[in-house]
Structure formats: C-alpha cells, structure tokens
A and B are shown apart, each in its own frame.
Chain A
Amino acid sequence: MELIFFYILAGILVTFSILTVTAPNPIRSAVYLISALLSMAGLFFLLEAEFVGAVQVLVYVGGIMVLFLFVIMLVNVREMETQRRASRHWKTAVVLGVVLSSELIFLVVRGADIFSTEGIGSNLIVEAQTRNTESVGSLLYSTYLLPFEIASILLLVAMVGAVVLTMKEK
C-alpha cells in the first residue's frame, strides 16, 4: 500500500519537475513547481514526518511560490517566452548535475554506513515513539531554545534591513 503511494507521488514529482524546467511560460513553470512541491510534501507525510510535510506546504507552496509568482508577473512574460530556452550556462549545469547525482548515488549506496548515529541519541531527550511534530516542538523549547529565540533577532534584522534599503529618503 505504502509502496504504491510512494510510486504515485514520486511519479507526479518527477513529471512536474521536468515540466517545470521545460515549460516555455514562466507562470506555468511556477504552477508546475507548486505541484511538484506538493507531491514532495506527500512523500514527507508518507515517511511519517508530518511536521516537515506541513512546513513544506506552508513555507514553499504558501510563501516562496507566491513570491515567485509576484516577481514573474512583474516582469514582462511575453518577452521571456521568445528568448532562447537553453541557458548559456549549460556547461556549468552539466558539471553540477554530474557532481550532485554522483553524490546522491554515493549516499544512497553508502550513506547508512558513513553517517554515524552514535552521537544523535545523546542529543535528543525526546523518546523516539512520540510523534514527529511533538518531538520537534519539545526540542525547540528545550535544547534548541536559544537558537530558536536568537533566530527572531535574525528575522528582525532582515525585516528592518529590507525596509531601510527600500525606504525613500525623507
């Protein structure tokens, strides 16, 4: 049952990812990307990582993609459609693609051996059988309390910075 769902979701993911890259119209491309990200969220749910799945939907589909669409609609779409499809940087893309896929294959084959799990247990106070979202929550308010709070300053600085840079001088 799980396996069937996996293949369905994976199939959708791969199809829409390819469509994202090949679609001539950037808006369509963005919509395809949304579908791809949604099926990725489905994969996370399948792995019982509900929190990551929900964040995937909220942050990527909800936030980042809307931003993408805004930017795309601000630029001239018609003009972009007529431009050359293949980027001038295809050589870089090939190199990066080869590196990343060899990395992926390496990790799939050898990953279980080389990533140590000995330290991980000591770091996590939460029992393994609690639910995913609960564990993330309790970790955020215990071990990672300080980074969690400090991140708020980081976000504040980013927000203020964006406003300061775009503000017209008085």
Chain B
Amino acid sequence: MNRFVPQMFTEWGTVDLNYSALLPEIILSLTGIMIMLVIPFVPTARHVSLGYPALAGIAVAFLSLVATRATWDQRGEAFFYGMVFQDPFALFLKVLFLFATAALVLIAMNYLDQEDRAQGEFYALLLFATVGMCLMAASADLIMTFLGLEILSISTYVLAGLKERERKSNESAIKYFLLGAFSTAFMLYGIAFVYGATGSTQYLIIAKVIPTSESEPFLLLLALGLMLVGFGFKIALAPFHIWAPDVYEGAPLPVTALLAVGSKAAALVALVRILFQALPALSPEWQVLLWMSAVLTMSIGNIAALTQTNIKRMLAYSSIAHAGYLLLGLTAHNELGTQGILYYLVAYALMTMGAFAVVQIVGGRDEQYIQIEDYRGLGYRHPFLSVTLSVFLISLAGIPATAGFMGKFFLFAAALESELYGLVFLAILASAIGIYYYLKVIVLMYMGDFQEETGTLITIPLSLRIVIAIMVLGTIYLGILPGTLLHLASEAVNF
C-alpha cells in the first residue's frame, strides 16, 4: 500500500486522498501565491528577479515528481474518487510542462527586463497556467479537465492583455477572451450531454457504460461534436483557428510561446485522454471528423504561412500546421500514434520554444524587429542567434537529423499502420510546402544583402544563451538518437 495515502473511514466509505498524485500542482500553486504575496515588498526595479523563486518552485515540483515515482506502480490508477490519474502518461507530460514553463520563465525574464516592466504577476500567472496544464494531463474526469482548462485559459487571457497600453495586445486579449469563453461554453454543453447520456463524467465509467447503454447514440454524437469544437478552438484546429494569428501577434512574446506550446499541448493531451479513454466506442465517428480537420489544418496552416511578413504570425500559422500533424496520431488511434504524439510534443516544444526565444531576443524593446525582413543579414551580425534559429527552423520544416523529422516520421508511420494512406500523402505534401517558408528565413539570414545598421546591437543574457543551447542540442539529439525518448514515450502510453 502506498504510504502517501491516508486511509480514513467515514460514513461515506473510504476517503481516497493521495496527495502525491498532485504534488507538482500543489507546489506550483503555493509558489505562485507566495510570489504574489511578496510583490508588494519588492522594489519595482527588482520585479524581474521574481523569476528566480518561480524557477525554484518549478525545480522543486520536478524533484517531487522524481521522488514519488517509485511509490506507484507502472499501470497507474485514479485517485480522489476517480478524479486524477497518477500514471506514466501524466508523469511524462508533467515533466514536459515543467521544462517548458522553466524556459518560458527565462524568456519572460528577458522580456520584462527589456520592456522595463514591473510585473511580478507575470510569473505567478505563468505558474497557475502550468497548474492548469498539469491537471489536464492527469485528469480522469470531465469536470477536472474543464477546471484545468479554465485555469489555463483565464491565466492566458490575462497574460495576453498585459501590455495594456498597446492596442494590439488589448485586441489580442479581447479576441481570445470572447472566443475562448464561447468555445468553453460549447465544451461544457458537450460535457453535460455526455453526463446525460452515460450518467457519469468519469472517463473509465463512460467507456464502460457506452457499449451497454440503451440511450440514444445521437446524444453522444452531439456531445462529441460540441467537445471537439471546444478543444478545436484551444488547439487551433481548422476551422476553429482563425483567432490564432491575431492573438499570437498581439500577445507579449513569452505569452505567444505559452499559447503555441503549452496551451496547445495541454488541450491536445486532454483530448487524447477523452477520445481514447472515455469514447473509444465512438472512434469511427471521431476518426472521420479528425481526418477532415487534420487535412484542413495542415493545408491552411502551411499555405497561409507562405505569405506572412511578420515572423510571429508566420510561427503562428506554422503552429497551426503542426497541430494538424499531431492530429494524424489521434486519427490513427493506435499505440504508435500516441507514442508519436508524445514524442512530437517534446520535439515541438523544443523547436518552437527555441524559435520564440530567438525571436524575443532579436525583437528587442517594444518588439521593433519582428518582421521577417529584419532578419536580413543576421547571419553576419549575430552568428549564435542565426545558427540556432536555423536549427529550429530546419527542425520545424522536418528535415532529417532533427527532432522534427523523427516526430513526423513516427506520426506518419502510425497513420500508415492504421491504413490512412490518403491522409499521410496529404501530410507529406503539406510539409513539403512548409519547407519553403522556413527556409526563406534562413536564406534571408545568410544570403540577403547585408547592410550595416545601427541600433541593432543585441545582447543575450547568459541564462537564455544556455537555454537556447540546450534546446538546439536537444533538437539535434532527438533527431539522431530518438531511442531514449521513444522508450519513455512507449512506457507512457500504458494508460
């Protein structure tokens, strides 16, 4: 028996509490609250350094995951009356989210420093957003998924609007908030219908009830559709992607990275859990829907990215396209597909976060240098940034020997295993289009006419330099030796 589980017997039966399943969430929440409590006592000039306690909290949360790993068995089980899972899948993703947040905190420190902003709340909201993501990854119940999603969404609505004097940031926040609230309503409606049709909100009970239930299949299909709309919005799947470029462009850069990586990954894995654990019986229906959405998402994302002149918008469309590739793993609905999704999420987090970190540094104060044209000749001015950005872009394009290629390879292989030949063909076509706009930036950096410009002196803080270097190494390592991570991912799909 697990020694972290206090057993209490009350008139309602066993109290099923196991705090070790929630340690990272608890630690991150406490760190966030503590940061907010000390903000009034910190002089405004030193608000930026509040990132260090945030980093410490993330490190402690990570250690807590490592320390409790040995106390539960491989299969994992649900706690708190079937509300959260403690299983390898959740562990894998929580570690990913913690690393992503640590990188985001470092990017945010650079951002707040550059913009000269005294906003210690930035870190607290980042940590709360991570709590939401972790809850979504571990959730075993639709109610928990909804709560996790809302914690994540509300934090990001606020973060997107933090540049209150800038109209674009306000526009971004309002757009995201209104559309987000609307899509949440859709999802909640869907959850209510699932409860109506099955009498439960717990994934495993829903899966058990559906095949034997005599209730109308129409009700469940309606619920499935409504939930897909809600998740589609959060993941920015076509045709619910329209908000993404505007919001990504207007939001402060660390927030854009959070939206592109964290939000997207968390919503996707929550969807994986719902579709695979709760609604596997409906797989013929949702496979068709996801097939269509994947084709639309990949083609719209890649084609629209071709014409962008703003690098933030280009990366926004590119992240839409990548969500499309991830859908291949979902549509395939097999073990390799889930492994592929996990692998690709790690690769995607590395390369996208890395690219955004470089864009943040090049962008400078008030994001002056955010056009793709601004990268002309960067290769001569700043070799470190241009080499690393090239690696990230090559990986995003999916060229061999990078993590992006391996990730795509696993996803496509999974889709082939499920005999989705047409989908794989279209995906390869779409990624071939994608290569053009990624390489365009690289070509511009190295082959564009170089003009000596003043005022583009770039300083990179050591911490960010290290982070970017780690991401580059990770991208290359995963592209050449995918074995270790793939092994971890294959353990994590045991849910």
Contact with B along A82-123 (1 / 0, CB 8 A): 000000000000000000000000000010011111111111
Contact with A along B86-111 (1 / 0, CB 8 A): 00000000000000000000000000
Contact of A115 among B17, B148, B196 (CB under 8 A): B196
Tell whether B435 is near chain A: CB-to-CB under 8 Å: no
Contact of A164 among B125, B148, B209 (CB under 8 A): B125
Q: How far is the CA of A113 from the CA of B135 in the complex (A)?
A: 35
Q: How far is the CA of A153 from the CA of B33 in the complex (A)?
A: 10
Contact of B81 among A119, A126, A142, A151 (CB under 8 A): A142
Tell whether A74 is near chain B: CB-to-CB under 8 Å: no
Tell whether A144 is near chain B: CB-to-CB under 8 Å: yes
Is there contact, CB below 8 Å, between B200 and A123?
yes
A66 to chain B, nearest CB (A): 21
Please tell me which stretch of B212-220, B368-376, B423-431, B445-453 contacts chain A, meaning at least 4 of its Cβ atoms lie within 8 angstroms of it.
B212-220
Query: B36, B81, B162 — which one has the most chain A CB atoms within 10 A of its CB?
Result: B81
Is there contact, CB below 8 Å, between A164 and B162?
yes
Closest chain A residue to B84, Cβ basis:
A146
Query: A116, A151, A165 — which one has the most chain B CB atoms within 10 A of its CB?
Result: A116
Query: A122, A145, A150, A158 — which one has the most chain B CB atoms within 10 A of its CB?
Result: A150
Please provide the chain A residues from 16 to 65 with a CB less than 8 Å away from any CB of chain B in the complex: none
Tell whether A143 is near chain B: CB-to-CB under 8 Å: yes
Which residues of A lie under 8 Å from residue B131 when comparing CB positions?
153
Contact of B215 among A116, A156, A160 (CB under 8 A): A116
Count A-B pairs with CB separation below 8 Å.
Answer: 113
Tell whether A78 is near chain B: CB-to-CB under 8 Å: no
Contact of B147 among A123, A138, A147, A158 (CB under 8 A): A147
Which residues of B lie under 8 Å from residue A119 when comparing CB positions?
198-200, 205, 209
Interface residues on A, range: 20 to 34
Tell whether A154 is near chain B: CB-to-CB under 8 Å: yes
Tell whether B128 is near chain A: CB-to-CB under 8 Å: yes
Tell whether B150 is near chain A: CB-to-CB under 8 Å: yes
Is there contact, CB below 8 Å, between A160 and B209?
no
Is there contact, CB below 8 Å, between A157 and B198?
no
Tell whether B292 is near chain A: CB-to-CB under 8 Å: no
Q: How far is the CA of A143 from the CA of B140 in the complex (A)?
A: 13
B365 to chain A, nearest CB (A): 16
Is there contact, CB below 8 Å, between B80 and A145?
yes
Query: A142, A154, A158 — which one has the most chain B CB atoms within 10 A of its CB?
Result: A154
Contact of A150 among B44, B144, B215 (CB under 8 A): B144
Tell whether A11 is near chain B: CB-to-CB under 8 Å: no
Closest chain B residue to A143, Cβ basis:
B81
Closest chain B residue to A107, Cβ basis:
B196
Tell whether A169 is near chain B: CB-to-CB under 8 Å: yes
Tell whether B320 is near chain A: CB-to-CB under 8 Å: no
Tell whether B469 is near chain A: CB-to-CB under 8 Å: no
Contact of A169 among B17, B154, B164, B205 (CB under 8 A): B164
Is there contact, CB below 8 Å, between B162 and A150?
no
Is there contact, CB below 8 Å, between A116 and B213?
yes
B201 to chain A, nearest CB (A): 8
Contact with A along B164-178 (1 / 0, CB 8 A): 110000000100000
Is there contact, CB below 8 Å, between B151 and A146?
no
Which residues of B lie under 8 Å from residue A73 when comparing CB positions?
none
Tell whether B15 is near chain A: CB-to-CB under 8 Å: yes
B187 to chain A, nearest CB (A): 15
Is there contact, CB below 8 Å, between A161 and B154?
yes
Q: How far is the CA of A120 from the CA of B219 in the complex (A)?
A: 17
- B-side residues, CB < 8 A to A, are 10, 12-13, 15, 17, 22, 29, 33, 36, 44, 80-81, 83-84, 117-119, 121, 124-125, 128, 131, 135, 141, 143-144, 147-148, 150-151, 154-155, 157-158, 161-162, 164-165, 173, 196-200, 202, 205, 209, 213-216, 218-219
8 A-B pairs within 8 Å (CB atoms) are namely A116-B209, A156-B33, A160-B121, A160-B124, A161-B125, A165-B161, A169-B118, A170-B44
Sample of 7 more A-B contacts, CB < 8 Å, known A119-B200, A146-B144, A154-B151: A116-B209, A119-B198, A126-B12, A153-B128, A157-B125, A161-B125, A161-B157
7 smallest CB-CB distances across A and B, nearest first, come from A119-B199, A161-B158, A146-B80, A120-B199, A114-B216, A116-B215, A119-B200
